Structure 1
Amino acid sequence: MPHVEWRGGTCRVKWWTGETLPNGRKRYESKGGFTDEDLALQHGMDMEYEVRHGVNITNRDGAMPMPEWLDAWYGSLELAHRSMVNYESVIRVHIKPFFARRAVGEVGIMDHRAFKKHLKAVLPSENSRKAVLGVFSMAMDDAVSAGLRKTSPVERHRRRGKYTKKKRERKKDMAVEAVEALARNAHTVFGPAGYVLMWTMACTGMRPAELYGLTREYCYPSWPGSDLRTDPEEADRYAEDMVRYGKGDGLMPAIRVERQVQYEDGGLQFFPPKYESYRTLVVPPFLAEMLERLLKEHESSWVFPSISGGNLRSANFDHKYWRPIADGAKENEGPRRPGERLALPEVPTFTGKRLYLVRHGAKAWLDEDGHSRFAVESRMGHEVPGVEGVYSSVTVPMERAIMKSLQERWESLPGRLGDAVWS
């Protein structure tokens, strides 16, 4: 039975937590500030009810500081490398500073609203705000599961307040002329590797980190004969690849996406592709010829080396290379391969836009050409849900149709750079 006692003008109630101290005595908790003895007693009875039914949250658990909980929560996660890096940054830069002086059990709905308002002031990107709030929501859900609080303070499916239509990134159609313009600028910046890289991204839809991490072993014309074959469970696929892809009569030229490069512990490391989207990407004849010639032109293990011969990820490609390639640059502005100082014209389709939109354009091309949805999504490294994903497969005719339509786009392009790429 709870015990009520008066102290000055208010009373407090004490109740047994169901726990026993090391010395054998019962551990009690209390709450004060009541001015009505009956209300205090009712609160104590409610607490004892929760103890009996195993749903109580002790004051001690709820008092865990938010920074301490966030550190423990992050340490318990086992996610892909890129996700771990992003979560750590979100927690360190945004969540910890805002809730630094709060306990886990103190954070309420109004705090969540205040946090959202704060993020809106410091993060102009809606996607960035969503990412931060997503991590916060998961941490609070797990705090409930860990018995640190009864419910999450995160509001879901709330219909109150002003309706705001979601903004979508404005994109322009990706014409072959725009890709050629990007490729020409990239050629000026870092030579044949730049030209071929742009056309490879436009024709395969590979993610930037997958392109940066592409090595000779997984690129035409060496692959699949040069496949490192690190997974013994993939023996059947290795055998099938040898009779389906490669250089020679009846074989289809292809690139194998097996890894990407990311930074870890201050250095570049190989990681599985995003969502473990291992896949084989057939390439059209014109691109196969360019890849073969490019690999004869340099000795780097990277298919697309930087100006210095290193990895494009280390060169900060998005900032140093992509911005001049897409936005244009003056004659003596930005990086250039040795002896090359030409000005770069802007490419209006991509001015101020992300490199990733070339990948988006690659998918749009396949959609425009009417290819199988399963073949397109598989090529992009996406999982196809439901029965379609279970029963469908990418067939040889599907792959040949993709090669044919991409080759036709290339051949429709007037004034291609052609052999001048290698001069």
Structure 2
Amino acid sequence: MAYAEKRGYDKKARKTRWRGRYLKPDGTWGSVSRDDNKQPFYTERAARDYAAGLETDVRRKTFIDPRSGRITVAEWAQMWIESVELANRSDKTYRQRLRSVILPKWGTIAMADVSEVAVKTWEKELRTRYKPRYVKSVMSVLRVMFEDAAASKVRGDNPVPTLKSRRRGRYKGKQQKDETVLATPRQALLLARNAEKMRGLVGYTLVLTIAYCGLRISEIVGLRREHLILEDHGQGCRLLVRAQHQYVDGKPAQVDPKYGSSGSIILPAFLAELLRQVLASHKAEWVFTGPKGGKLNTTSFYEEVWRLWADGHEAMPDRLGRPSRLPYLEAVAGIQGIGPHGLRHSMKVWLDELKHPRVAVEDRMRHVLGGVEGVYSHTTLPMELEIAADLQALWEASLKVVVDRREWETPSRPREKDSPKLISQKSPNLENQDQEDETAA
């Protein structure tokens, strides 16, 4: 049974200090000398009542040892990060957020002393220093860390507010403008033609594979020959998503797709034929090779390659008057700023507009449906074949001549000196294509 005992005389407060004693879950005696507000007990009754409350928590199996909360955030973070199972890229992200932002602020503070008000104030200050997406990532790491701390009985609650609990104070309405840049099938074709001027058949097919299969750029880089089934035995020609390219400990490696989202995707007929041509054009193990036949290098892909395909490039001679190594590329009208992932989003929109079953669309995107819908909805082969047929129809419609609107714009790419890395490659298969009819470096 809980009781109190004297601890000595507090000269500063001119009062006797007390501590409460209580039975812990393991049968040993624990002691507590401060309340939830970190104030000492100056009466016998206050110490005894607090200790009795802890014994009640023991009986209800909600007990949290007050001493557990005295561990610092840095000490808990070190134990916590080693216990969390994360993919390589996520592990690096979590550790970076802890090292660079979270621990410099909270590292020396006891876990029990971190309050929700202090966290909200800190988050508000972060938003003045960093971009919203980065702040969201930091807060996500902090939230998960404290969730696990509460589950491990290090403290009783999570001081990091959830998204729902942020509806306090000045109301911020939902952002009206969707900043995601989407492409129509016609714009995806024009983007592929720009890629063809720089990277030939490989670049042309790379863009269309992202657009019509919804692949991530890391999955494009990690695509091998054995991942393509280009003979139809009644199941459709297929692309197998089995791996993605990542750097692990600074070295290139093949790892599982993001979130373990492996899949099998039926190819539209035109794309299956293009991929046959790509495989016949080289003998490398990778489907999409670099300019010299090796594996694609994504280090400078966005700035030095993709941005040129989407935003155009002026063919400028160098200072010695020699011709530009890069072809003149006009910008595709209406999709300036689009990234490879924008084409993945675009395919989802195309399929939604065609009213395909949600389960089949999400399956092609390699998403998992949640709840009851995910349990009882299933994708069938006829659904997959119908999607492939409709994508083929979109492709064929995109080849038609457009005369009622402007499709190209003046290049928005700043004039820069040529980069020796970006040597134009002509495609023997596509260089004679009639121009009127119509995410890798």
TM-score by length of 1: 0.81
Q: After TM superposition, list the pairs within 5 Å mapping 1:378-389 onto structure 2.
A: 378-389=363-374
Q: Contact (CA 8 Å) 2:41, 2:47: kept in 1 or not?
A: no
- Aligned partner of residue 211 in structure 2, secondary structure: helix
Q: What amino acid maps onto 2:170 in structure 1?
A: K
**Alpha-carbon distance, 1:220 to partner:** 3.8
What is the one-letter code of the residue matched to 1:143? A
Moved more, 177-186 or 191-200: 177-186
- How many Å apart are 1:342 and its aligned residue? 0.9
2:138 corresponds in structure 1 to 132
Partner of 2:359: 374
Structure 2 distance, partners of 1:152, 1:201, is 40
The offset of 1:269, in angstroms, is 2.0
Decide whether aligned partners of structure 1 residues 70 and 200 sit closer, same or farther in structure 2, where only a CA change above 3 A counts: same
1:30 to 33, 57, 62: 33
Question: For residue 351 of structure 1, what is the aligned residue in structure 2?
Answer: 336
Which of 396, 400, 403 pairs up with 1:414?
400
Tell me: CA distance 1:34–1:60, structure 2 relative to 1, closer, same or farther (3 Å): closer
**How far apart are the structure 2 equivalents of 1:110 and 1:298?**
60
State the Cα distance separating 1:316 from its structure 2 match. Answer: 3.6
Q: Which moved more, 1:25-34 or 1:66-75?
A: 25-34
Deviation at 1:110, TM superposition (A): 1.8
Which of residues 220, 236, 259 in structure 2 aligns to 1:252? 236
Distance 1:414 1:207 in 2: 28
Query: For residues 34 and 314 of structure 1, do their structure 2 counterparts lie closer, same or farther at Cα, with a shift above 3 Å needed?
Result: closer
Say whether residues 1:8 and 2:8 are aligned partners. no
1:213 to 2:222 alignment = yes
Distance 1:120 1:408, change over 3 A: same
SS at match of 1:269: strand
Could you tell me which residue of structure 1 aligns to residue 100 of structure 2? Answer: 93
Distance verdict in 2 for CA 1:144–1:323, change over 3 Å: same
C-alpha distance in structure 2 between counterparts of 1:369 and 1:346, whole Å? 28
Residue pair 1:17, 1:58 contacting (<8 A) in 2 also: no
Aligned-residue offset at 1:306: 2.1
Contact 2:33 2:47 in 1 (8 A): no
RMSD: 3.1
2:19–2:41 Cα contact (<8 Å) kept: no
What is the match of residue 162 of structure 1?
170
2:388 & 2:274 partners in 1: Cα distance? Answer: 15
Distance 1:389 1:408 in 2: 29
From 179, 185, 188, the equivalent of 1:176 is 185
Deviations 1:33-55 (A, max 9, x none): 969844x7414530353156335
Q: Structure 2 vs 1, CA of residues 105 and 284 (structure 1 numbering), >3 Å: closer, same or farther?
A: same
Q: Distance in 2 between matches of 1:31 and 1:372?
A: 60
1:300 aligns with 2:284: yes
SS at 1:293 equivalent: helix
The corresponding residue for 2:151 is 145
Contact 1:220–1:292 at 8 Å: present in 2 too? Answer: no
Q: Which amino acid is 2:190 matched to?
A: A
- Deviation for aligned residue 1:350: 2.9
- Given that residues 363 and 376 in structure 1 are in contact (C-alpha distance below 8 angstroms), is that contact kept between their aligned partners in structure 2? yes
Residue in structure 2 matching 1:267, options 251, 267, 270: 251
Q: Which residue of 1 aligns with 2:54?
A: 50
Report the Cα offset of residue 80 of structure 1: 3.0
Distance change >3 Å, CA 49–CA 308, structure 1 → 2: same
Structure 1, residues 216-275: CA drift from partner, whole Å, max 9, x if none? 001143xxxxxxxxxxxxxxxxxxxxxxxx246x55211111121222122122222223
Aligned to 2:156, what secondary structure does the other structure show? Answer: coil
Q: Which moved more, 1:192-201 or 1:112-121?
A: 112-121
CA offset digits 1:130-189 (Å, max 9, x no partner):
222122111112112222222221234434201112335334552222112211222233
Deviation for aligned residue 1:313: 4.8
Deviation at 1:18, TM superposition (A): 4.7
Select the structure with the greater relative contact order (CA < 8 A; seq sep ≥ 6).
Answer: 2
Residues 150 and 176 (structure 1), Cα distance of their counterparts in 2 relative to 1, 3 Å cut: closer
Structure 2 residue runs of 5 or longer lacking an equivalent are 318-323, 403-426, 434-441
1:261/1:313 contact within 8 Å kept: no
Q: Mind listing any 5+ residue stretches in structure 1 that lack a counterpart?
A: 20-24, 222-245, 334-338
2: distance between equivalents of 1:124 and 1:190? 34
Contact 1:306/1:315 (<8 A) preserved = no
1:330 deviates by 2.8
Matched position secondary structure for 2:127: helix
Structure 1 SS opposite 2:331: coil
Aligned residue for 1:110? 117
| CA distance in structure 2 between the aligned counterparts of 1:357 and 1:372, rounded to whole angstroms | 22
- Kept after mapping to 1: 8 A contact 2:244/2:256: yes
1:318 match:
302
Query: One-letter code of the match for 1:301?
Result: E
